[in-house]
Amino acid sequence: MKNPITIHTPITKEICEALRTGDRVLLNGSIITGRDTAHKRLFNLLAEGKDFPIKIEGETIFYAAPTPPGPGRIIGSIGPTTSYRMDAFAPELMRAGLRGMIGKGKRSDEVKAAIMKYKAVYFGAMGGIAALMSSCITKAEVIAYEDLGPEAIMRLEIKDFPLIVINDTKGGDLYDDAVSRNTRVR
């Protein structure tokens, strides 16, 4: 198995084009968080021709909401949310410049087509390792939609955040590959 690829944000189109389904990645730098309600708000602003409350160009979004931090902690546990819940919004956000998405689960055909068209990437984060993921976060602050509580958009500074490429710019899909391999083994 290959060593993980270390990547720093912001993720560019060139970085996305170099990644392949199955690549293990250690992501470093700055990412944002957002879930269903935050996505809907951003999508509505886009539809109304209004500005976002945050910069979206070149951003990577983690579909997550943290638990409250314990004493002396930067953030509580934070694990990935099921990504298909953001599929209705993701293509338009990629068109607006969103470059990376982090979550869990399969994406729709429309999202996979947008990943190829807009040169983006979908990373999988392992469910069940929320405590480990929180240990990779060196700073966390709310940057938009504070009224959403833990589902507000946050800016996270991360170090060696462990991910795997699920969907790449060439149409690769790690879930489809796994099903295909399993089918051939039988």
pLDDT in tens, 63-119: 998 888 888 888 888 888 899 999 999 999 999 999 999 999 999 999 999 999 999
Q: Where are the alpha helices (DSSP H) in the chain?
A: 13-18, 36-47, 90-95, 109-118, 130-135, 174-185
Provide the pLDDT for residue 185: 46
Beta partners for residue 144, in sequence order: 153
| Number of domains the chain contains | 1
Provide the pLDDT for residue 182: 66
pLDDT at 184 over 60: no
pTM of the model: 0.93
Contact 94, 120 (CB under 8 A): yes
Provide the pLDDT for residue 29: 97
Give the domain range for residue 49: 5-185
Contact 50, 67 (CB under 8 A): no
CATH of the domain at 40: 3.20.130.10
Mean pLDDT of 24-44: 95
Provide the pLDDT for residue 131: 75
pLDDT at 157 over 90: yes
